[in-house]
């Protein structure tokens, strides 16, 4: 019996191959489109550009020159979440003046499900004063907590933050705790100053969730050098 894949038209098969390579490695994707005219044509397809992963070559996202920024533009226009995330973060934390349009890019990347964007966009929204923004922020970070990837994302943010080390005042510390019962809540507040959260397995889901996000905000302020002003 024929394998169903044999019945697919050649152009669809080729697109599947290019997409598969793109989602695994920017380096392999780049090499492939440089070697064959058909691959090169497919490599400009927005569906393919959207799926390219830069995990194996992050330097291109975080240390771009003008030529690279121009090169990345077509990925951004195609909705590539990694490029939207890096561009959005760079614009938002640009020094001396950040750009709020960076937040729109972060939001698109977050809503596409890209985890680093969900973390940063969610935490930025938690820095806002109004409850609607904070609720939106919690909706994003809650799924990361359930997936037990908070520590991995914190480490990634530490690495990325080195590119945005100058505080540009786009964010200030929110002095209003998310937990209404702070500081008497018998949640995470009990652990403050005498317990260090270093492992996702230590993230006790039975304790007050709002206290949990007050704790994460303090971590976020530290990572991105967000001051009191
Ligand atoms: Zn609480």
> How far is Cα of residue 84 from the mean position of the Cα atoms in its chain?
9
What separation in Å is there between the alpha carbon of 114 and the centre of ligand 1? 28
Q: State the DSSP H helix or E strand holding residue 93, giving kind and residue range, or none if neither.
A: none
What separation in Å is there between the alpha carbon of 49 and the centre of ligand 1? 43
Q: Of 13-22, 48-57, 134-143, 208-217, where does the model show the most confidence?
A: 134-143
> How far is Cα of residue 123 from the mean position of the Cα atoms in its chain?
11
Per-chain residues with Cβ under 5 A from ion ligand 1: 179, 185, 187, 208, 210-211
What separation in Å is there between the alpha carbon of 177 and the centre of ligand 1? 9
pLDDT-above-90 percentage for the chain: 54
- Residue from 205, 204, 211 nearest 184 by CA: 211
What separation in Å is there between the alpha carbon of 209 and the centre of ligand 1? 7
What separation in Å is there between the alpha carbon of 206 and the centre of ligand 1? 11
What separation in Å is there between the alpha carbon of 195 and the centre of ligand 1? 16
Rounded distance between C-alpha atoms, residue 15 and residue 48, angstroms: 8
Residue 21 has a pLDDT of 83
For the stretch 158-195, pLDDT in tens is 999 888 778 888 999 999 999 988 777 876 655 555 45
Residue 8 has a pLDDT of 62
Question: Which residue did the predictor score with more confidence, 225 or 5?
Answer: 225
Residue 229 banded pLDDT, cuts 50, 70, 90 = low
> How far is Cα of residue 106 from the mean position of the Cα atoms in its chain?
7
Question: Which residue did the predictor score with more confidence, 143 or 169?
Answer: 143
Residue whose tokens read 């704790």: 215
What separation in Å is there between the alpha carbon of 210 and the centre of ligand 1? 5
Residue 191 has a pLDDT of 59
Residue 98 banded pLDDT, cuts 50, 70, 90 = confident
Rounded distance between C-alpha atoms, residue 75 and residue 43, angstroms: 11
pLDDT-above-70 percentage for the chain: 90
What separation in Å is there between the alpha carbon of 218 and the centre of ligand 1? 15
Residue 203 has a pLDDT of 82
Mean pLDDT of 66-72: 93
What separation in Å is there between the alpha carbon of 176 and the centre of ligand 1? 13
Residue 43 banded pLDDT, cuts 50, 70, 90 = confident
What separation in Å is there between the alpha carbon of 186 and the centre of ligand 1? 6
What separation in Å is there between the alpha carbon of 109 and the centre of ligand 1? 30
Q: Which sequence spans correspond to the domains of the chain?
A: 16-57, 58-223
pTM for the model:
0.87
Residue 4 has a pLDDT of 63
């Amino acid at each position: 019996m024929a394998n169903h894949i044999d019945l697919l038209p050649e152009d669809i098969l080729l697109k599947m191959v290019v997409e598969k390579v793109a989602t695994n490695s920017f380096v392999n994707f780049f090499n492939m489109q440089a070697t064959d005219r058909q691959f090169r044509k497919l490599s400009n397809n927005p569906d393919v550009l959207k799926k390219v992963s830069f995990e194996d070559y992050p330097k291109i996202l975080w240390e771009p020159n003008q030529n690279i920024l121009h090169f990345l533009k077509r990925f951004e226009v195609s909705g590539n979440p990694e490029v939207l995330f890096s561009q959005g973060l760079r614009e938002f934390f640009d020094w001396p003046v950040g750009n709020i349009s960076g937040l729109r890019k972060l939001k698109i990347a977050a809503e596409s499900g890209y985890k680093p964007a969900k973390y940063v966009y969610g935490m930025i929204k938690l820095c806002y004063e109004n409850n609607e923004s904070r609720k939106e922020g919690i909706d994003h970070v809650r799924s990361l907590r359930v997936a037990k990837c908070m520590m991995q994302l914190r480490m990634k943010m530490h690495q990325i933050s080195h590119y945005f080390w100058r505080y540009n005042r786009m964010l200030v510390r929110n002095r209003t705790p998310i937990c209404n019962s702070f500081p008497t809540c018998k949640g995470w507040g009990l652990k403050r100053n005498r317990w260090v959260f270093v492992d996702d397995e230590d993230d006790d889901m039975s304790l007050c969730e709002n206290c949990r996000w007050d704790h994460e905000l303090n971590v976020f302020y530290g990572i991105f050098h967000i001051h009191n002003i």
